[in-house]
Amino acid sequence: MFGAGGGTSSYREVEETDVVFLWGANARENHPIFFHHVLKAIHRGARMFAMDPRRTASAQWAEAWLGLNVGTDIALSNAMARVIIHAGLANRAFIDHATSGYADYAAAVERYTLAYAEQETGVPADVIERAALAFARADRAVICWTLGITEHHNAVDNVLSLINLALLTGHVGRWGSGLNPLRGQNNVQGGGDMGAIPNRLAGFQDWTRDDAVRHKFEQAWGVPLKPEYGRNLTEMFHGMEHGDVRAVYVIGENPAQSEADQNRTERLLTGLDHLVVQDVLMTRTAELASVVLPASSSWCESEGTVTNSERRVQRVRKALEPPGDARDDGWIIGEIARRMGVDWGNPSAEDVWNEVRSLAPMLAGMSYARLEQEGGLHWPCYDESHPGEEFLHARLWAEPRVGPPAPFSVVEHDPPVERPDADYPFQLTTGRRLDAYNTGVQTGGFTSPLTRGETCDMSPEDGARLGVGDGDLVHVTSRRGAVVAPVRLDRNLRAGLVFMTLHYQDQVRTNVLTIDATDPKSGTAEFKACAVRIEPVRAAAGAVA
């Protein structure tokens, strides 16, 4: 946001903040380490508000749970903004000093009355008001979000609506106030930092718009760079569909099971001319591959760095030799380059890191020696004497302000593409559980007392209406496919809302149900919302195609 691809706040700030908005994030289960920091804040007396259709384990710790209808986040945030503005709590000093577009924004949220918001979101008006006022009145407040915000067809708008709230109240660019997307893996942030995204090079540098950047990289690498972005995942699959992507090299991903509309995904992957999969385990995607390259495990069999959600770059050290023919990812890539006729030598992890530092100013100051000595450093860290920045965007408060103003964005409520109707009366939302990880590649092979396999979670009210109880099998059918799963009654769901995960793909292929309605700006599919119909297996036997 505002040109930087990372959360703004350090964990310590989260611990010492006053109000936490946990929006579309069940951190208790899915970001348990981060949630420890939230818990420290809560035990210190901070108030947490949880926005989630489900009353999750995280929401149980909240001052108030705002159980909004799936995909009504913008209706909720815009209504909160209106409450704040009408209460005279908009931070005019900050707005005037550091933002642009406030008037349009204020005008746009005017129609999001509490009554309208209650009708759209389902959340009682008094609770919306309470949360909004708590946020605006707080000395310090942070907003944390994750896939509940981003796995929608309007993911970017959802994020912008949260940024708006922070700009409106001045809760950004200060110690203890900020905006934090939670990263689902130890090094999601680091992947972006390194340029493993289609539209930035290392250090979030845009070579298509900044000639100096392009020249710098071209000079360092000795090759010309095409001034255009690569494809994001969605675009890659579109390419496969239309025949202009014929070969795919997959490193450490399991798209065959993690992508929405799984039947389509498998069809496209198996239709390729050449599929290379580099992974630590034999994933479903690897099973479809032409060539499988066994890789070392990055957390214990490789040297390097990772960057966590608070932008702290940390060293990873090799503890074990990889088994058998498995090799370090860097080594494999280097060997492929060699076969293609380019010799990159045999650089160590530190050599690679130093090249990154020489090209990415925001990482320049982070030598291995410093990372070791200081227990990791926050980026940006411009030179060896720079301490790293614990929080981002202090520039917005600088006198005079440094850099461009932060823009408000007018965003409008736009409900999920597929909504329940007479044929598909249930809203299915998908997510994750504490004891399992994504498609289960890394967790499926281990036992856990919490593991109960895939279930179709539904409210006791729906269970009663369908005449099913815990363990009874049901057909879950969407417009794209059908699965059979056992029922689990869960009081934390309301009537009409059902929940499933993608963890147990061998048992239940949940992603044959989900919809490939993708945000054109972020490339993320709407995993959080599709419509399904549910029938008990005994009653509906044979009724499902």
Partner 1 sequence: MDLHLLDAVPTADERAAVDAVLGPPEDGWRGGPRGERDHHTATGGIGVRASRHLLLPVLHAVQSRIGWISEGALMYLCQRLTVPPADAYGVATFYALLSTVPRPKRIVHVCDDIGCRCRGAETVCAELERTVGPAWHAPDGEAHAIPSDGAWIRTPCLGLCDQAPAALLTEAGAVPVEQLFGNATAATIARVIGGDLAAAVEPRPKLAQAGDPSLRLLRRVDVADPASFDDYRAHGGYQALRRAVELGPDGVIREVTDSKLAGRGGAAFPTGRKWDAVARQPVRPHYLICNADESEPGTFKDRVVMEGDPYGVVEAMTIAAYATGCEKGFIYLRGEYPLAHERLQHAIDQAKARGFLGENIMDRGFRFAIEIRKGAGAYICGEETAIFNSIEGFRGEPRNKPPFPVQSGVFGKPTLINNVETLVNVLEILRIGGPAYAAIGTEGSTGPRLFCLSGHVARPGVYEVTFGATLRALLALAGGVPGGRPIQAVLLGGAAGGFVRGDELDIPLTFEGTRAAGTTLGSGVIMVFDDTVDLKDILRRVAAFFRDESCGQCVPCRVGTVRQEEALHRLQANRPLGSTADEVALLAEIGLAMKDASICGLGQTAYAAVESAIKRLKLFEPGTAR
Using CB under 8 A as the binding criterion, the count of chain residues that bind partner 1 stands at 25
Whole-number Å distance between alpha carbons of 295 and 303: 13
Instruction: Write each residue from 158 to 177 as x if it is in contact with partner 1 (CB under 8 A), else as -, in one continuous string.
Output: --------------------
Determine which residue in the list 1, 10, 18, 28 makes contact with partner 1, applying CB under 8 A: 28
Residue 198 exposed, middle or buried by CB count within 10 Å (0-12, 13-18, 19+): middle
Report, in Å, the least distance between residue 62 CB and partner 1.
Answer: 6
Report, in Å, the least distance between residue 300 CB and partner 1.
Answer: 30
Report, in Å, the least distance between residue 130 CB and partner 1.
Answer: 9
For partner 1, the binding residues in 490-509 under the rule CB under 8 A are 491, 494-495
Two tokens, residue 291: 């060539």
The residue written with tokens 């919302």 in the block is: 529
Angle made by CA atoms 487, 492, 497, in degrees to the nearest 5: 60
- Cα dist. 507→288, 435, 444 in Å? 18, 16, 11
Report, in Å, the least distance between residue 415 CB and partner 1.
Answer: 16
Question: Dihedrals φ, ψ of 308, to 5°?
Answer: -95, -170
Cα 315 to chain center, whole Å? Answer: 23
Stretch of residues binding partner 1 (CB under 8 A), selected from 115-123, 308-316, 338-346, 396-404: 115-123
Q: What is the DSSP letter of 518?
A: B
Q: Round to the nearest angstrom and report the end-to-end CA distance of the chain.
A: 45
Stretch of residues binding partner 1 (CB under 8 A), selected from 117-125, 212-220, 322-330, 440-448: 117-125
Q: Does the protein bind partner 1 through residue 57 (CB under 8 A)?
A: yes
Secondary structure of 380-424 in the HEC alphabet? CCCCCCCCCCCCCCHHHHCCCCCCCCEECCCCCCCCCCCCCCCCC
Among residues 161, 216, 178, 193, the alpha carbon closest in space to that of 24 is found at 161
DSSP 81-107: HHHHHHTT-S-HHHHHHHEE-HHHHHH
Cβ proximity to partner 1, 83 vs 517, nearer residue: 83
Question: Dihedrals φ, ψ of 316, to 5°?
Answer: -115, 135
Report, in Å, the least distance between residue 452 CB and partner 1.
Answer: 12
Report, in Å, the least distance between residue 131 CB and partner 1.
Answer: 10
Asked if omega into 380 is within 30° of 0 (cis), the reply is yes
Report, in Å, the least distance between residue 123 CB and partner 1.
Answer: 5
Determine which residue in the list 11, 34, 61, 237 makes contact with partner 1, applying CB under 8 A: 61
Q: Does the protein bind partner 1 through residue 452 (CB under 8 A)?
A: no
Determine which residue in the list 123, 313, 498, 534 makes contact with partner 1, applying CB under 8 A: 123
Report, in Å, the least distance between residue 425 CB and partner 1.
Answer: 16
Residues 6+ apart with CB under 8 A from 497: 53, 54, 70, 426, 427, 429, 458, 459
Whole-number Å distance between alpha carbons of 38 and 22: 9
Among residues 264, 255, 262, the alpha carbon closest in space to that of 283 is found at 255
Report, in Å, the least distance between residue 446 CB and partner 1.
Answer: 21
Report, in Å, the least distance between residue 74 CB and partner 1.
Answer: 17
Stretch of residues binding partner 1 (CB under 8 A), selected from 122-130, 181-189, 341-349, 378-386: 122-130
For partner 1, the binding residues in 62-101 under the rule CB under 8 A are 62-68
Question: Dihedrals φ, ψ of 47, to 5°?
Answer: -105, 130
DSSP 3-18: T--S-S--HHHHHT-S
Q: Does the protein bind partner 1 through residue 55 (CB under 8 A)?
A: yes
Cβ proximity to partner 1, 118 vs 193, nearer residue: 118
- How many C-beta atoms lie closer than 10 Å to residue 226's C-beta? 9
Stretch of residues binding partner 1 (CB under 8 A), selected from 58-66, 151-159, 232-240, 401-409: 58-66
Stretch of residues binding partner 1 (CB under 8 A), selected from 308-316, 404-412, 488-496, 506-514: 488-496
Report, in Å, the least distance between residue 442 CB and partner 1.
Answer: 24
Determine which residue in the list 32, 60, 96, 387 makes contact with partner 1, applying CB under 8 A: 60
Angle made by CA atoms 284, 290, 296, in degrees to the nearest 5: 65
Whole-number Å distance between alpha carbons of 129 and 122: 13
Determine which residue in the list 4, 106, 127, 537 makes contact with partner 1, applying CB under 8 A: 127
Instruction: Write each residue from 34 to 53 as x if it is in contact with partner 1 (CB under 8 A), else as -, in one continuous string.
Output: --------x--x-xx-----
Cβ proximity to partner 1, 48 vs 79, nearer residue: 48
Cβ proximity to partner 1, 62 vs 260, nearer residue: 62
Cβ proximity to partner 1, 63 vs 303, nearer residue: 63
Q: What is the DSSP letter of 176?
A: T
Cα 487 to chain center, whole Å? Answer: 28
CA atoms within 13 A on the CB side of 465: 12
Q: Does the protein bind partner 1 through residue 468 (CB under 8 A)?
A: no
Report, in Å, the least distance between residue 124 CB and partner 1.
Answer: 6
Whole-number Å distance between alpha carbons of 2 and 137: 24
The residue written with tokens 């036997």 in the block is: 541
Cα 6 to chain center, whole Å? Answer: 11
Determine which residue in the list 10, 30, 99, 121 makes contact with partner 1, applying CB under 8 A: 121
Q: Does the protein bind partner 1 through residue 2 (CB under 8 A)?
A: no
Q: Does the protein bind partner 1 through residue 25 (CB under 8 A)?
A: no
Stretch of residues binding partner 1 (CB under 8 A), selected from 57-65, 90-98, 205-213, 502-510: 57-65
Cα 246 to chain center, whole Å? Answer: 28
Cβ proximity to partner 1, 45 vs 224, nearer residue: 45
Contact set with partner 1 (CB under 8 A)? 28, 42, 45, 47-48, 55, 57, 59-68, 121-124, 127, 491, 494-495
